[in-house]
Amino acid sequence: MKNHMMNAVLYDRYGGPEVLYLGRVPRPEPAPGEVLVKVHAFSVNGGELAARAGRLRLVTGRRFPQRVGLDFTGEVAALGAGATRLTVGDRVWGVLGRTSGFGSAAEYLTVPADRVGQVPDGLDLVDAAALLVAIIAVTALRDKAALRPGERLLVRGAAGGVGHAAVQLGRACGAEVTALARAANLEFVRGLGAHEAVDHRSVRPAQLGRFDVVLDTVGTDLRAIRRLLDPGGRMVTIAFDLNRPVASLGYIAASAIHGRGRVRFFSGNPVQKHLDDLARHVVEGKLRPAVHTVFPLEETAAAHQELEAGGVQGKYVVRVV
């Protein structure tokens, strides 16, 4: 495969979705312990939008061109030395690691073998791409918040990628789920299993009542949302205020020692065991995919634009092949 080229989505400067273009880059070869994946689909995530816009430039730097795409589904195309768990042709899914950056918006990618799992039989690879973000919801509710049957759960940003998975998982766990979303998305989140669906623009946080667990996917107004916790309540956020990052992250850190209810913040970094766990949830019927729109690879910029506009129900997915 040496000197072979492939299509990939790139950008040469920070900015809006219009900076994205389809370019040509060398097709990678798997190093020892890696697999080469022929990418079938990936979803569009908020973190890569922030990176493309330059809001994370302290991390992403100023070396261009840069890439987009965080998760992926596809087929194993080749194996590096020592990658014996998988075979060529296996249907796989995964998420690029924190040290790998972005880059799944491409025809091929290489990834360590321990960072991919096998897609459940019968699950379409486009649908599978929409479900990958559910790993974060599983970790947040089960591992970080220890959600229990009968508890009251508030999901903020309930119609989005992580949020719509959290509503389903909360209902499957036996929790009483309140979903905060746009008015246009309330019927959608009710259909996912929310006991109560509330237009986030129509109420103040204090009017929502009290909760045992809060899952926040928005990152703003964390102080007001935290006040909704009952004694012993737990709050998990997967986002922070990108307009006030230092203050927002500082508040999250301070919550561990001040006031009632620590705010737990984390970002996903899944490996095989997490992917296998997700597959079990799918097979058991606890999760079903919600694909809002499918875009071709050359229209990745349009997918970014749509996600930035808001109002997504589930996930925007880009099909590569």
Q: Would you list the DSSP string of 104-150?
A: -SBSEEEEEGGGEEEPPTT--HHHHHHHTTHHHHHIIIIIIS---TT
Q: How many CB atoms lie within 10 A of CB 125?
A: 21
* SS3 category, 72: strand
- Which residue blocks in the chain are alpha helix, DSSP H? 46-52, 57-60, 125-131, 134-138, 161-173, 186-191, 222-226, 245-254, 272-283, 300-309
pLDDT reported for residue 54: 93
Mean pLDDT of 92-111: 90
Interstrand relation of 71-79 and 21-26 (parallel, antiparallel or unpaired): unpaired
For residue 75, name the pLDDT band (cuts at 50, 70, 90). Answer: very high
- 310: Cβ contacts below 8 Å, ≥ 6 apart: 182
Tens-digit pLDDT profile for residues 199-249? 999 998 889 999 999 999 988 888 889 899 999 999 998 874 445 554 444
Q: Are 186 and 210 in contact (CB under 8 A)?
A: no
- How many angstroms separate the CA atoms of 31 and 112, rounded? 9
Mean pLDDT, all residues of the chain:
90
* CATH, domain 5-123+290-319, list 3.90.226.10, 3.40.50.920, 1.10.10.60, 3.90.180.10: 3.90.180.10
For residue 314, name the pLDDT band (cuts at 50, 70, 90). Answer: very high
Tens-digit pLDDT profile for residues 125-165? 999 999 999 999 999 999 999 999 999 999 999 999 999 99
* SS3 category, 265: strand
Length of the chain: 321
Class of domain 134-265: alpha beta
* Domain ranges (residues) in the chain: 5-123+290-319, 134-265
Mean pLDDT of 288-311: 96
Half-sphere exposure of 70 (CA within 13 A, CB side): 21
**What phi and psi values does residue 305 have, to the nearest 5 degrees?**
-60, -45
